[in-house]
Amino acid sequence: MPAEVRSEYPGAVPLRYLERAAGRLLRAAGLAEAELSVLLVADAAMAELNGRWLGRPWTTNVISFAQGEGGAPGAGLLGDVVLCVDAARREAEAGGVGLHRRLLELLVHGVVHLLGEDHEAGAAEARRMEARERALMDRLDKEGIMADLCINVDHVATVREARLAAEPDPVQAAVLVELAGADGVVVHLREDRRHIKDRDVRVLRQILKTRLTLEMAATDEMIAIASEIRPDIVTLVPEKRRELTTEGGLDVAAHEGHIREAVARLHDAGVPVSLFVDPEAAQVEAAGRTGADCVEIHTGRYAEARGAEARDREFEAVVAAARAARDLGLRVHAGHGLDYRNTARMASVSEIEEFSIGHAVVARAVLVGMERAVREMLALVKGC
């Protein structure tokens, strides 16, 4: 990983938040290929490091150790940043901000030091360093640190259709999803209408206060429906009548012309487009050529992997695909098969900006209620 965050602090720290923050910070600084090491310590450890390396045996909030000449941009190890959690907590309380925010500010300060800036070199240098830090913080604030979570309510409709009844209503479920704090709702309108119906999509478009993602095949019928309803984004997915759920990503490489045409038609209607793809370089590259705005990386192989070695291999495939997509200027979403055991690791990948999770949340909601099920997944994705 480009950024490694370790903790020697004897208490709880927002590790996942800082892992994502460090990755996004490197990209914002134009150092996507660089590596950064971040260490979290307490007052005593920070004082010991200061005394050993800098000749000042007292605690400070942050220190940086550059590798190479002035942290010149490029690949390889940029350097090490050490953050004192105790000092950050004191400063956060004094400044009326949260600990997450103060740690982010100190991380930015430390990285800017690694880039060769030094506020102690003079007034002009201090102003230049402050301006650089402010620009990076502004960009991070604009992009956000943690990924969004959108909940797929298809399987609420699956239960409804098991009895061909009116309940449970996926529209009502979507309201609870929003009340629980999710960032959006996902539905898949299939050609055979096996669960979600046209009525569901139309009502959701009218009532949702967050955003609606419509998953669909790239057919004339579905493009016409999406062009009329205009969801916040369409995700084009492959579709087979006999499958229980979507079994893999779109083969964009094999059907690039058809998908490019579908993307163009949806864009003409003012609808952004994401493509659901397997974590393979050829598929990501083809997606970039279609004019799509985003890819949703299929995480099914990662979710289904058995054994640590297989899980690691599939995880790295998703990471590589996410980085390749970002390099092409595509937004990156991820989903399929993610649950309460495997999501936290994926949520640390800073390139992924949104997760789409459905079955695991609906399954837990049967036992604990929709709002609690959503909040528990939010805690995994947001790291809080």
List, by residue number, the catalytic residues.
188, 215, 336
Compute the distance between CA of residue 215 and CA of residue 127 in angstroms, rounded to an integer: 49
Q: Are 215 and 201 in contact (CB under 8 A)?
A: no
Q: How far is it, in rounded angstroms, from Cα 83 to Cα 42?
A: 8
Sign, Cα dihedral of 288, 292, 297, 298:
negative
DSSP secondary structure, 292-344, as one string:
-SEEEEE-HHHHH--SHHHHHHHHHHHHHHHHHHHHTT-EEEEESS--TTTHH
Contact 235, 276 (CB under 8 A): yes
Can you tell me the distance from the alpha carbon of 239 to that of 246, in angstroms, rounded to the nearest whole number? 7
- The answer for residues whose C-beta is within 8 angstroms of residue 291's C-beta and 6 or more apart is 260, 263, 264, 267, 273
CA distances to 171, 190, 283, 297, 318 from 278, rounded to whole Å, are: 30, 20, 7, 6, 8
Structure token digits, residue 219: 């057919």
